[in-house]
A and B are shown apart, each in its own frame.
Chain A
């Protein structure tokens, strides 16, 4: 059903979804989506509003569990392990598959405590020194260290929107995940802050499998290597980003890329 672009190389899948359908009560939000997400690449999900791309993203670390009416069919594997099998530890899953949300949501705690939160609950640091180190490393990797190193004890909510979002990325990095899911991470930010986040995503690409949902096709083109186009709950086309944007196969993809709808 999904058109896989012929130029797309088969890589080892970090996460792999097979025939995934998602329902909210009776309403079907995702219809039979299969996709592999590799490490070392940014995979972008694009598509018009309500096409199911955010729903699909939230299924990947079981954040949809917080919605009582949501139901998932099909299998999703992380390193070959089905994450929806009974006995799967959701807490461990989410430590391995981190998430950054649409609106920056730092906790109303200090910058330090925002970053230290994850390592503390997962017992990743033995001592205060180790914790300090994790905080510094995460903030550095998120490109925020120089801006906040002198005020680590200020509230995280006092930062600007773009800084808050980088704080949230640093917070996700701090628990040492393997996959990072980003749900329109720049939609609440101005262009300069957006540029910084995009730069950051590019720097993080090597270490993680990154999946980003975005409304902006330019952003998908700039930051991702692979792009999947979603429409009405179905994954229409999946391929290398440059192929999707320059040489789409499906008519609907072409229409969306050229701004016919969406």
Chain B
């Protein structure tokens, strides 16, 4: 409530500053024998407005941390606080309840003891609200008038505003990068906790995966945390079965689209293929679980494999492969199209047929780009979650039989984090170790793939 009020006040003041500064700049210009302004009046307006907004925003951020503590101090100092329990859960809940009522978030208290605290809270909140507004206005006025006083005809407001714009853009891009680091740091932190309980050797090389979230968390059985079956399942489904589907289909469709298709047909087919990339993965997931998996089981039963499971690595891998086709085909398409037409002409002029030219010249020349595309596709496939959650099953089997249920790293992360174990149990923490492994592998794949693709681009520029 309060921060929004403050923000509105700040925006209002900034608008006022903008108008005032612009008007002042205009007045320089319209005066007789006006000197030439170093920046247009609008820039003077923005200069003052930014000088108001930024300090106030910084204050609001700070205030939203300080204010609750100031309120709490005031309340605890009031005589009504004497009747509170000294420590513990009850004291906290009474305070929280009273605060909620005072702030207007709930209508009445359950605990009668909290009733007495409502008024002190209300008073303190109100008092602090006024303090906040006053400081906001004061900061805005001081910063705004300091900025305003600098406005002169030869004041270079434009370059300063441009610098501020650049700073804002830089900040925006830093957010994404810092978030990545933050994610990585949190993964590492939790993973270290996990490895404090389960040995990394058990985790990375063990072949039996059955964490028990109900077991004694202080003394976990390391032999139940072998992640090899998960790594195998991930690779088998995402990098083997899916790629057996996606690489030939993607490559062949790219070849058809770049070399054979009529331009009008291509204008239709290419977007149609790219729609595949826009289908939500959960839709692929139930397609795999409800349509493909039963069909595979029935087919397996009909050829005499009686113990075929209705959840299989094959179903998940096939559907994942279809999902990945557009990635492979669009990368291959770009790479083949990037091969200079002089290569194609050179081959045709030697009497090579179209398919010989494609097979022996175009595809080999485009190979680095195609490989890069495939690696990106693999990193996408092994990070894929919904399809395997819905279609691959949960059993951590270390098997090469595609008809068996298998499980993947992503599936187990979901299972461990949504399980009933407490948050500091090794079974739950294992999700972070799995996540870290996945993160590092996809990071490495992306890194290598982008390097390969970049090299390839350079080779033809």
Residues of A within 8 A of B (CB): 61, 63, 66, 91-95, 98-99, 101, 103, 105-109, 117-118, 121-122, 168, 171-172, 175
Docked-complex contact B360 and A66, CB < 8 angstroms: no
Known contacts A117-B347, A117-B350, A121-B350, A105 near B364 by CB under 8 Å:
no
Docked-complex contact A175 and B342, CB < 8 angstroms: no
Docked-complex contact B351 and A91, CB < 8 angstroms: yes
Q: Which residues of A contact B364 (CB under 8 A)?
A: 107-109
Docked-complex contact A105 and B351, CB < 8 angstroms: no
Q: Which residues of B contact A63 (CB under 8 A)?
A: 345, 348-349
* Contact for A105 among B343, B356, B360, CB less than 8 A: B343
User: Does B35 sit at the interface, judged by CB under 8 A?
Assistant: no
On chain B, the number of residues with a Cβ less than 8 Å from chain A's Cβ atoms is 19
Docked-complex contact B345 and A94, CB < 8 angstroms: no
Instruction: Kindly state the separation between the CA atoms of A175 and B342 in the bound complex, as whole angstroms.
Output: 19
* Contact for B345 among A93, A98, A101, A175, CB less than 8 A: A101
Interface residues of B in 413-461 (CB under 8 A from A): 459
Q: Which residues of A contact B353 (CB under 8 A)?
A: 91, 121
Docked-complex contact B350 and A118, CB < 8 angstroms: yes
Known contacts A105-B340, A105-B343, A94 near B365 by CB under 8 Å:
no
Docked-complex contact A171 and B350, CB < 8 angstroms: yes
New A-B contacts (4) at CB < 8 Å, excluding given A66-B345, A94-B349, A117-B347: A93-B351, A99-B349, A107-B343, A118-B351
Instruction: Kindly state the separation between the CA atoms of A107 and B365 in the bound complex, as whole angstroms.
Output: 8
- Count CB-based A-B contacts (< 8 Å): 66
Q: Which residues of B contact A108 (CB under 8 A)?
A: 343, 364-365, 459
User: Does B361 sit at the interface, judged by CB under 8 A?
Assistant: yes
Known contacts A107-B365, A121-B360, A94 near B351 by CB under 8 Å:
yes
Instruction: Kindly state the separation between the CA atoms of A24 and B304 in the bound complex, as whole angstroms.
Output: 62
Instruction: Kindly state the separation between the CA atoms of A109 and B356 in the bound complex, as whole angstroms.
Output: 15
Docked-complex contact A117 and B349, CB < 8 angstroms: no
B345, B349, B352 interface centre (most CB from chain A within 10 Å): B349
Residue in chain A with minimal CB distance to B359: A121
Between A and B, 9 residue pairs with Cβ closer than 8 Å are A63-B345, A66-B344, A94-B349, A99-B345, A105-B345, A105-B346, A107-B365, A121-B352, A168-B346
| A57 CB to nearest B CB, Å | 11
Q: Which residues of B contact A99 (CB under 8 A)?
A: 345, 349
Docked-complex contact B348 and A94, CB < 8 angstroms: yes
Docked-complex contact A107 and B361, CB < 8 angstroms: yes
* Contact for B348 among A66, A109, A122, A171, CB less than 8 A: A66
Docked-complex contact A61 and B349, CB < 8 angstroms: yes
| A211 CB to nearest B CB, Å | 13
Q: Which residues of B contact A95 (CB under 8 A)?
A: 350-351
Known contacts A105-B340, A108-B365, A98 near B349 by CB under 8 Å:
yes
Docked-complex contact A172 and B343, CB < 8 angstroms: no
B344, B347, B353, B361 interface centre (most CB from chain A within 10 Å): B347
6 tightest CB-CB pairs across the interface, nearest first?
A: A95-B351, A105-B342, A99-B349, A94-B351, A118-B350, A105-B346
Docked-complex contact A121 and B351, CB < 8 angstroms: yes
Q: Which residues of B contact A118 (CB under 8 A)?
A: 350-352
Interface residues of B in 330-350 (CB under 8 A from A): 340, 342-350
Q: Which residues of A contact B347 (CB under 8 A)?
A: 107, 117
Residue in chain B with minimal CB distance to A118: B350
Residue in chain A with minimal CB distance to B460: A108
Instruction: Kindly state the separation between the CA atoms of A162 and B342 in the bound complex, as whole angstroms.
Output: 17
Residue in chain B with minimal CB distance to A95: B351
Q: Which residues of B contact A94 (CB under 8 A)?
A: 348-351
* Contact for A92 among B340, B351, B459, CB less than 8 A: B351
Q: Which residues of B contact A117 (CB under 8 A)?
A: 347, 350, 352, 360-361
Instruction: Kindly state the separation between the CA atoms of A106 and B356 in the bound complex, as whole angstroms.
Output: 16
Known contacts A91-B352, A91-B353, A101 near B346 by CB under 8 Å:
yes
Q: Which residues of B contact A172 (CB under 8 A)?
A: 349-350
Docked-complex contact A98 and B342, CB < 8 angstroms: no
Interface residues of B in 348-396 (CB under 8 A from A): 348-353, 356, 360-361, 364-365
Instruction: Kindly state the separation between the CA atoms of A92 and B344 in the bound complex, as whole angstroms.
Output: 17
Q: Which residues of A contact B344 (CB under 8 A)?
A: 66
Docked-complex contact B351 and A122, CB < 8 angstroms: yes
Instruction: Kindly state the separation between the CA atoms of A122 and B356 in the bound complex, as whole angstroms.
Output: 11
| A176 CB to nearest B CB, Å | 11
Instruction: Kindly state the separation between the CA atoms of A99 and B342 in the bound complex, as whole angstroms.
Output: 12
Docked-complex contact A101 and B351, CB < 8 angstroms: no
Instruction: Kindly state the separation between the CA atoms of A94 and B350 in the bound complex, as whole angstroms.
Output: 6
Instruction: Kindly state the separation between the CA atoms of A108 and B368 in the bound complex, as whole angstroms.
Output: 12
| B342 CB to nearest A CB, Å | 4
Instruction: Kindly state the separation between the CA atoms of A93 and B364 in the bound complex, as whole angstroms.
Output: 25
Q: Which residues of B contact A101 (CB under 8 A)?
A: 342, 345-346, 349
| A131 CB to nearest B CB, Å | 15
Q: Which residues of A contact B340 (CB under 8 A)?
A: 105
Instruction: Kindly state the separation between the CA atoms of A172 and B131 in the bound complex, as whole angstroms.
Output: 88
Instruction: Kindly state the separation between the CA atoms of A92 and B346 in the bound complex, as whole angstroms.
Output: 15
* Contact for B346 among A61, A107, A121, A175, CB less than 8 A: A107
Docked-complex contact B343 and A175, CB < 8 angstroms: no
| B359 CB to nearest A CB, Å | 10
Instruction: Kindly state the separation between the CA atoms of A6 and B442 in the bound complex, as whole angstroms.
Output: 76
| B194 CB to nearest A CB, Å | 48
A95, A103, A105, A172 interface centre (most CB from chain B within 10 Å): A105
